[in-house]
Amino acid sequence: MRRRLSILCFFLIAVLTLSGCRTEWVWSFGEKVALTNGRTGLTENEIRVIALEYKCLFESYYKELLGEQFWDREVFEGETYEDYIKSEYILEEARALLYLNSVSDERNVSLTDSEREKIRTEARAYYDGYLTDDEKKFIRSDRDTLEQVLLKYALASKVVSDLVKDGKLEVSDEESRVSDVMVIRVVSRELADELSDRIRNGENFATLASVYSEDPEIEYSVSRSDLNDAIRDVIFALKDGEISHVIEYEGNYYLFRNVNSYNVLLSNKEKTNLLAARRYENWNTLYEAFMKEHEEKIQLSFWHALRLNEPGDYTYRKSLFSCLSE
């Protein structure tokens, strides 16, 4: 399964896996719109700004690793790196950005005058100070388009903050707790009982584990999501230094010693992961409901013509969107 991770929009949501009806559509006047969901759209040049970020980012890494022509190499059967980045990153990000801007009015979310002015200043500084001539040619637009894209990202960021309030996003310390444990695994009940008695009579758990355990590793950090119900209930009931009774599971016999019932660093990371998962669930529910009422349309000719392997001076110096997280 491909993992869809939005790099530029990471501060918005961890993973976006969105779906919708895709048909070719062209704006009837002015600049062509490349993507619309019935409420609003993104123009070709606005999407080119997003594409430029990914082009520079991936070239900064893969050119050295895979060579100058890596965009044309297959990453999956029948799909090149260019195809993959366009569909799994650029398009997915554009769709997310479009949706978030579409629901801003109904959620009464908007940018303040000071926020808008800050964005305009950042866009002008980025256009004049960072973009090369080749990069300006790639986006086919002036600093005004850059400003519009940044404004849409800034609004999207505020909408996400509003959206996540609606779901169950609290994660307790107990839910996210990660414990450090020592483990002895043996295949004989008799040996497991013998080791349990020896430990309770004063022999060292770690020493016996290193000699008798079937596993080369004897120390683990575990969260609730790592374990089946029977083992999880035993481990997370132990206090620091406590040793479990013999646990039978799938033909093996286990003894556990709780070394540290609350690993602070790993517990904080687990809480972040659980929160991200709940945000995704909330996001996906809201997006699917929205897409049932709004048909998404794509200008296929633009997407087919968009090329990421254009040669020139493309260097990933600073993300255009970095100012939004400052």
Question: Which tens digits make up the pLDDT trace of 88-119?
Answer: 999 988 988 988 898 898 889 999 999 999 99
**pLDDT class for 167, splitting at 50, 70, 90?**
low
pLDDT at position 160:
80
pLDDT at position 166:
59
Most confident option among 151-160, 203-212, 290-299: 203-212
Q: Phi first, then psi: what are they for 248, rounded to 5°? A: -100, 130
Mean pLDDT of 307-324: 81
Mean pLDDT of 57-77: 88
| DSSP annotation of 256 | E
pLDDT at position 29:
42
Across the chain, mean pLDDT equals 84
Tokens of 193: 């009982």
Mean pLDDT of 55-79: 88
Residue 25 has pLDDT above 60, yes or no: no
Helix (H) or strand (E) holding 148: helix 143-163
| Cβ contacts of 219 within 8 Å, gap of 6 or more | 180, 181, 182, 183, 259
Question: Nearest-CA neighbor of 225 among 266, 261, 276, 274?
Answer: 274
CB 93 within 8 A of CB 319: no
Residue 237 has pLDDT above 90, yes or no: yes
How many CB atoms lie under 10 A from the CB of residue 61? 11
pLDDT at position 30:
52
**pLDDT class for 315, splitting at 50, 70, 90?**
confident
Mean pLDDT of 218-227: 90
| Cβ contacts of 255 within 8 Å, gap of 6 or more | 183, 184, 192, 195, 196, 199, 205, 243, 244, 246, 247
Q: Does domain 178-261 have CATH number 3.30.70.20?
A: no
H helices, E strands: number in the chain: 11, 9
User: Among positive and negative, which fits the CA dihedral 296, 297, 303, 304?
Assistant: positive
Helix (H) or strand (E) holding 210: helix 205-212
pLDDT at position 72:
92
**pLDDT class for 274, splitting at 50, 70, 90?**
confident
Mean pLDDT of 42-66: 91
Helix (H) or strand (E) holding 98: helix 91-102
Residue type, 288: E
| DSSP annotation of 158 | H
pLDDT at position 194:
96
> Per-residue DSSP letters for 30-78?
SSPEEEE-SS-EEEHHHHHHHHHHHHHHHHHHHHHHH-TTGGGSEEETT
Instruction: Label residue 245 exposed, middle or buried (CB < 10 Å: 0-12, 13-18, 19+).
Output: exposed
The model scores a pTM over 0.75: no
Residue 260, classed as helix, strand or coil, is: strand
Residue 182 has pLDDT above 60, yes or no: yes
**pLDDT class for 65, splitting at 50, 70, 90?**
confident
Tell me: the pLDDT tens digits for 183-195?
999 999 999 999 9
Mean pLDDT of 112-140: 92
Question: Nearest-CA neighbor of 283 among 102, 109, 96?
Answer: 96
**pLDDT class for 318, splitting at 50, 70, 90?**
confident
Residue 3 has pLDDT above 50, yes or no: no
Alpha-carbon gap, residue 6 to 285, rounded angstroms:
18
The lowest-confidence range among 65-74, 267-276, 301-310, 317-326 is 317-326
Q: In the chain, where are the structural domains located?
A: 33-168+272-325, 178-261
pLDDT at position 18:
36
Residue 325 has pLDDT above 70, yes or no: no
| Cβ contacts of 253 within 8 Å, gap of 6 or more | 185, 186, 187, 188, 189, 191, 192, 246, 247
| DSSP annotation of 15 | B
